[in-house]
A and B are shown apart, each in its own frame.
Chain A
Amino acid sequence: MSEFWSDYTVRVVFAGSAMVGAVSGALGCFAYLRRQSLVGDVVAHSSLLGIVLAFWSVYLVTGAGDKSLYVLIPGAVAAGLASLLLTRLVTRNSRIKEDAGLGVMLAVFFGTGMMLLRWLQRAQPPVPGRSGLDDYLFGMAAATTSKDLWMIGSLGAAAILTMLVNWSRLKVLAFDPEYAAGIGLPVRWLEVLLLSLMVVGIVIGLQIAGVVLMISLLVAPAASARQWTSRLGRMVTLASVLGAACASGGALISATSRNLPTGPAIVVLVTLTFVVSILFAPNRGLLFRRRHLAD
């Protein structure tokens, strides 16, 4: 076992996924509370287009394939935000309801992303470094490098810090935007801030959880934590802890077995956490409620 822990890769993977889980869990609370869970799903899927485009444009400029997160994350953020803004444009200016608008953006961004990904994988002459790109579909924590770790760490820390600094304001905004405007808070600016935080919470997890399943790592810890506490501060803390535990657990399971994608392993863990939470949480849990009624 000590041999296992002394392995450098294992430590990097463990640290990286724990950080991702903690950050996504915490920021996911706001997505969850603002009822934007599926928005998170679409942002995650859409990031694939950004990832592929970023990789490709760096290749065009430098002639080398660079898969480090320094290159891919800005692309993912841009594509994620673009799909978000387009969804808003569509739902605010037409009779299209939010879920249909989201679905359409999923089709455009993810469909185009997949198309380019497949094209890049078959292009002749081969683009160097292209082989691991499709790990972003289902996540491959083992591919994390220490350079990536720094990127995840610094972005995550910046996002959490921003959240803490603006804590009170974000809380009013998430709870009651109309009131927030009434007491003179810069609501529009705070909205953008909150959305950007969510996008960051999503994109730093893509390498580990994958675009397809990222929604679960974002919202399941939040939904679970909500069952155990009725205070926002505790909910965010708990979601963060649950996210970190499940993500690092899943990453280790995946790293120690051959070719097992990380995303599904993590998602099975967070889903179990969620099931346990809605069944057994005191006061709210379904089992508790049954007994309560029987009494």
Chain B
Amino acid sequence: MEVAIETRQLTVAYGAQPALWNVDVRIPLLKMTGIVGPNGAGKSTLLKAILGTVPRLSGEVVLHRDAGRNGTAVGYVPQRNAVDWDFPITVFDLVTMGTYGRLRWFQRPGKREREEAREALAQVRMEEFADRQIGELSGGQQQRVFLARALVQQASIYLMDEPFASVDAKTENMLIDVLHRLRDEGNTIVLVHHDLTTVADYFDHVVLLNRKLVASGATATTFTPENVEHAYGVAGQHLVQRHP
């Protein structure tokens, strides 16, 4: 198994409260990995530690040597509630932001960047909304646009924080299709996910987290009742059951 992201003895704390505790995890290359665990398990913190936006107390994060060869190494889709939806920015502008990380100082997005933004919008089937202000979109459409912004980064690893939160089933299916296609085209996808009923369908690989690493490995062998119980407590079993 080739490894896209490896954390070694990674610890992050907020005050005296450990958020991630001595986590050794290996996320495989060219696979779709789900990070699951109860609230406060450190799932978002793990993404931020990989991005390097929270201070580590111990350990290190190693990215695959090929990551970042074409663009930024890691594309990031934050939780949707973090932004101001009344901000005067169009869908197209927002997607173009994905190129800012590689622009030099003084440089403005040019023809090439705009072309890439348009392609990314086409991939998530949002071309016709390019000139809309972002507040005028539905929740699912907003999530698609954020995905497009990550695509424009031309990363080879994509980190997404609960992209399916408050998104309708149709959009969720559409997003999953795009993500699977992305994976098949040679990218690594990492999602923080909270709906245990869909874990088995969506992910090749799963990381169960509860501040410490509970289990990590191929979904079929790792996403077992014992491990879920270990991460969530006894109640975890009910979460896996699909509601009719």
Contacts and interface: CB of A to CB of B under 8 A. Distances in A.
Direct contact of A and B (CB under 8 A): yes
Interface of A: 33, 35, 165, 167-169, 171-172, 174-176, 178-179, 181-185, 226, 229-232, 234-235
Contact of A169 (B72, B74, B82, B100): B100
B170 interface: no
Contacts of B103: 168
Contact of A168 (B83, B94, B100): B100
Interface stretch (B26-34, B85-93, B204-212, B223-231): B85-93
B87 A175 contact: yes
Contacts of B97: 168, 171-172, 175-176, 179
Interface of B: 51, 53, 72, 74, 76, 78, 82-84, 86-90, 93-94, 97-98, 100-101, 103, 105-106, 108-109, 133, 153
A182 B133 CA distance: 23
B88 A182 contact: no
Given A167-B108, A176-B82, A178-B53, A185 B100 contact: yes
B106 to A, nearest CB: 6
Contacts of B82: 176, 178
- Per DSSP, chain A at the interface is helix
A167 B109 CA distance: 11
B101 to A, nearest CB: 3
Contacts of A176: 78, 82-83, 97
Contacts of A183: 72, 76, 98, 100-101, 153
Contacts of A234: 88
Contacts of A175: 83-84, 87, 89, 94, 97
A165 B26 CA distance: 41
Contacts of A226: 86, 88
Contacts of B86: 226
7 contacts: A168-B109, A182-B78, A184-B101, A226-B86, A231-B89, A232-B87, A232-B93
Contacts of A181: 51, 53
Q: Which of A169, A171, A174 has the most CB of B within 10 A?
A: A171
A144 B27 CA distance: 65
A229 B88 contact: yes
Contacts of B109: 168
A243 to B, nearest CB: 17
